[in-house]
Structure 1
Amino acid sequence: MRTSMAATAAALAITALLAVCTPPAASASALAAGPVVGVGGKCADVAAAGTGNGTAVQLYDCNGSNAQKWTVGTDGTIRALGKCLDVTGQGTANGTKLQLWDCNGSGAQQWSAESDGHLKNPQSGRYLDVPGGSTANGTRLQIWDRNTNPWQTWHLPDGTTPPPGSCAPALGSGQYDTPVTFGGKTYQVRVHVPQRAAGARLPLVLDLHGSQSTGPGQLSYSNLAPVADAKGFVVAAPTGATPSGSGYIWNVPYVTSGATRDDVGFLRQVIDTLTGSACLDPSRIYATGYSGGGRMTSALGCLLSDRIAAIAPVAGLRAGRPDPANGGRPDPASCTPSRSVPVIAFHGRQDTTNPYDGGGDNTAWRYSVPVAQQRWAALNGCTAGPAVTQVTAHVQRSVYSSCRGQGDVELYTVSDGGHTWPDSPQDNGNGKVTHEISANDLMWDFFQRHPMP
């Protein structure tokens, strides 16, 4: 049955709206270019070589024209005439037609070549298909459940089939929100995905916001996206669920009251979801965060050490809650990682929100930053240190080393630094931002040296 004009218009309108809401995908490096050949020796073809959004993609006699010259990109896209092979309206149902559309980084434009010639759209879980195996010129291509019919077998240009064990991401390069479902609810998580080589699995850095902020606000404040592009890792900046001020706070175990979500469980789900959709390397999952996000990052080191390879709290290093019997030290029972967790931390001596020397909120802070570092060194079985060096005029580095499982513990202390992120381009009004060091560069160098054992 032909799709009605009204339904087609509605589908195109939905796709147009999604294209507007999704940041454009950067141009991809090409694996190969040439025809995509299917059943009957015919080619995937852009109808009448049209370049308008919504132009049908069909089966047609192979003729060597530009309408049949497809570029298979390193970002999972398949492109012709400067646009992308797209599933109409982000559809996932059997029979959803294919079209040409502006490249926008959405899952509707992601394709995974399998070794037996099948071509999968991971977002829908369905495959490039010729309806009924028709070889008539002009047959509109669609997606359909995987089967063994010859009309789901495609011959791509040479060099486009990923090697065994590789991964085809559902999430293309760019920055956008992606859904994560936890506890019966779906939350939008801001992610930044760099360009990648075909089939490559990438590291992940969780970037956790401070109290009364949001994931997108933190991604802007930390300025991690340019580093992710340069170094090749995914950044995920989720948002807490407990309202506070103009934003949200994290449910830090043992210290947050009135929380509305198990955030350790939620962040585990973020990791699990993105491991599949963004093709992550499970051995290179890291966490950083600012202020309350730094305290949450510390808690992940304590409670999620089976998934988090290393942590980098900024203005928020903890090693469990303050001991109720003596607030000047951590409660040993509240931080029991299953393995040594490498730690790199950054803190300003002039921080009045989370004071370097301790004090403040009885339930969340109290003991000093050096005591937190010392406790992590004890948890990691470090036998050397602290070795202290002056890095710059106002920055000192303290290191515990010779640790079990390479669980080094480093602390960068900024003598004139406030409650701030070193080298952030933003002044948040909480004291001086040092530019003598870059927290981003230092933590990424540390992360690279400390994958999951």
Structure 2
Amino acid sequence: MKATAWRRRVLAALTLITSPLAALVLALPATAAAAGPITGLAGKCVDIAGANTANGTQVQLWTCNGSGAQQWTVGSDGTIRALGKCLDVDGGINANGTKVHLWDCIAGNTHQQWTYNAAARELVNPETSKCLDATGQSGADGTRLQIWTCNGQTNQKWTLPSDSSTCTRTVGAGESTVQVTFNGTRYPVAVYVPSTAQPPVRLPLVLNLHGTSSTGSGQLWYSNMKPAADAGRFLVAAPSGAIPNGSGYAWNVPGVGTSPVGARDDVAFLGAIIDALTTTLCIDPARVYGTGYSGGGRMLSAYACLRPDRIAAIAPVAGLRAGRPDPSNTSRPDPASCQPARPVPVIAFHGQQDNTNPYGGGGSALWQYSVPAAQQRWAAIDGCPGSPATTQVSAHVSRIAYQFCRNGTAIVLYAVSDGGHTWPGTPNPSLGNGNTTREIDANALMWQFFQQYQL
């Protein structure tokens, strides 16, 4: 806006002032530290009910949808703003259960001041010394937000939008282990920081999920992703699954198989990793991507179905799924088990001689429907028009692609005619799993694909 236009707008507003207090309610923008969604319990977003800008409109939890009612500006003046209004404690009343709602921004109003405890992930109103709280520890859409005595429970944990420009990375270049706390337990996560990383700059993150009976560090080695991370200047996190299996772990994939009693919720765990690494690894939360091998590909697929608000694009290797097999016909996905709230870009790699997760379907009860059926289901989810285009990219590799899908997404599959249950391009062996093609490099192709998308 030009300066003259801005002055006209302010002067017009000043003509309406009838009292000293009215002079303070001009909703001029605060100096912004960050802007975007604020997420909390169950990954839901802080939302203005009905996108209503009237004073007193309830602030609630709601499924993240990218609307303006969920876009908050965290100002350097202590305010949190959306739709031109401020997050406000009703009357500044210091009582558990006091409603948090939307109100005109008033300079110096302590009802509208908030501080963020990054370590505890708490939003505190200093006037009352109480925390922003989701009523009843409920993650349901429409859950009312209130203030309550700070108690460290999950309904008081919030992730603010990040300043995407600068930060402080506490992990040095190379491979190391970061401890991530989830539900009171600390879990080691193998991470890799590229040698090209500049300390104050936020970088993209690739989650790299291992196959069944492996580990995060084993997957970091097998996929050979470090050189690609150095070349592309992205961060890598390779956690381990929840369920002990053989010499490693398996992922607790929701809706598939029977989980052991008390098994960790791996969907929530991956979200906790993203939250933790936003600070320690200095990631850009808008550029979080995922890949995974075999069971890790199944886990990643499920994560994209359930939490498309946290991951910008996925690249399963030998493990693309689109929900559980339909119990009434296991040769197809169950549509009800994968209904992401936004289109998800997908690039996948699969050997047509894969005997573990067969390209044509069948195999274990965890697998069943074919890879083309999974790709077709993702194309339907993303609203892709027409049929896929097939291109022969090398002697044994075909590229099958749905293009021009909603929100500019694409669903791409690299099918390897002589490929086994292996990672294309890796120099590392996968004994007993068939041929590893070196006609393509999965790491290079997925990174090229990822760079087209962000949340």
TM-score (normalizing by structure 2): 0.62
Alignment of 1:97-108 (within 5 A): none
Secondary structure of 1:306's aligned partner: coil
Q: CA deviation at 1:164?
A: 10
Is the CA contact 1:416–1:432 (under 8 Å) kept in the aligned structure 2? Answer: yes
Deviation sequence 1:222-263 (CA, Å, 0-9, x none): 000111111111000000120111110000110142341100
Counterpart among 375, 378, 389 of residue 377 in structure 2: 375
Percent of matched pairs sharing the same residue: 60
Counterpart check, 1:250 vs 2:251: yes
Q: Give the distance between the partners of 1:445 and 1:313, measured in 2 at CA.
A: 15
Q: Give the distance between the partners of 1:422 and 1:369, measured in 2 at CA.
A: 16
Counterparts in 2 of 1:329 and 1:186: CA distance versus 1, 3 Å:
same
Structure 1 residue aligned with 2:217? 216
Counterparts in 2 of 1:164 and 1:398: CA distance versus 1, 3 Å:
closer
Counterpart check, 1:419 vs 2:424: no
Structure 2 residue aligned with 1:303? 306
Alignment of 1:125-140 (within 5 A): none
Structure 2 residue aligned with 1:279? 282
Q: CA deviation at 1:385?
A: 2.9
Counterpart check, 1:354 vs 2:381: no
Structure 2 residue aligned with 1:324? 327
Is the CA contact 2:207–2:238 (under 8 Å) kept in the aligned structure 1? Answer: yes
Q: Give the distance between the partners of 1:245 and 1:165, measured in 2 at CA.
A: 43
Is the CA contact 2:290–2:314 (under 8 Å) kept in the aligned structure 1? Answer: yes
Q: Aligned letter for 1:420?
A: T
Structure 2 residue aligned with 1:187? 187
Q: Aligned letter for 2:391?
A: T
Counterpart among 367, 370, 373 of residue 365 in structure 1: 367
Q: Aligned letter for 1:234?
A: L
Q: Aligned letter for 2:203?
A: L
Q: Aligned letter for 2:230?
A: D
Structure 2: gaps spanning 5 or more residues: 1-117, 120-162
Deviation sequence 1:275-305 (CA, Å, 0-9, x none): 1111111111000000000101111110110
Secondary structure of 2:389's aligned partner: strand
Is the CA contact 2:169–2:199 (under 8 Å) kept in the aligned structure 1? Answer: no
Q: CA deviation at 1:165?
A: 4.7
Structure 2 residue aligned with 1:158? none
Name which one, 1 or 2, has greater alpha-carbon Rg. 1
Q: CA deviation at 1:405?
A: 1.1
Counterpart among 368, 373, 394 of residue 396 in structure 2: 394
Is the CA contact 1:344–1:411 (under 8 Å) kept in the aligned structure 2? Answer: yes
Structure 2 residue aligned with 1:169? 169
Q: Give the distance between the partners of 2:198 and 2:428, measured in 1 at CA.
A: 32
**Paired positions, count:** 291
Q: Give the distance between the partners of 1:432 and 1:164, measured in 2 at CA.
A: 41
TM-score (normalizing by structure 1): 0.63
Q: Give the distance between the partners of 2:406 and 2:219, measured in 1 at CA.
A: 32
Q: Give the distance between the partners of 2:259 and 2:199, measured in 1 at CA.
A: 45
Q: Aligned letter for 1:366?
A: Q
Q: Give the distance between the partners of 1:165 and 1:299, measured in 2 at CA.
A: 31
Counterpart check, 1:438 vs 2:441: yes
Counterparts in 2 of 1:198 and 1:330: CA distance versus 1, 3 Å:
same
Counterparts in 2 of 1:358 and 1:285: CA distance versus 1, 3 Å:
same
Is the CA contact 1:384–1:401 (under 8 Å) kept in the aligned structure 2? Answer: no
Q: Aligned letter for 1:254?
A: G
Secondary structure of 1:301's aligned partner: helix
Q: Give the distance between the partners of 2:172 and 2:319, measured in 1 at CA.
A: 33
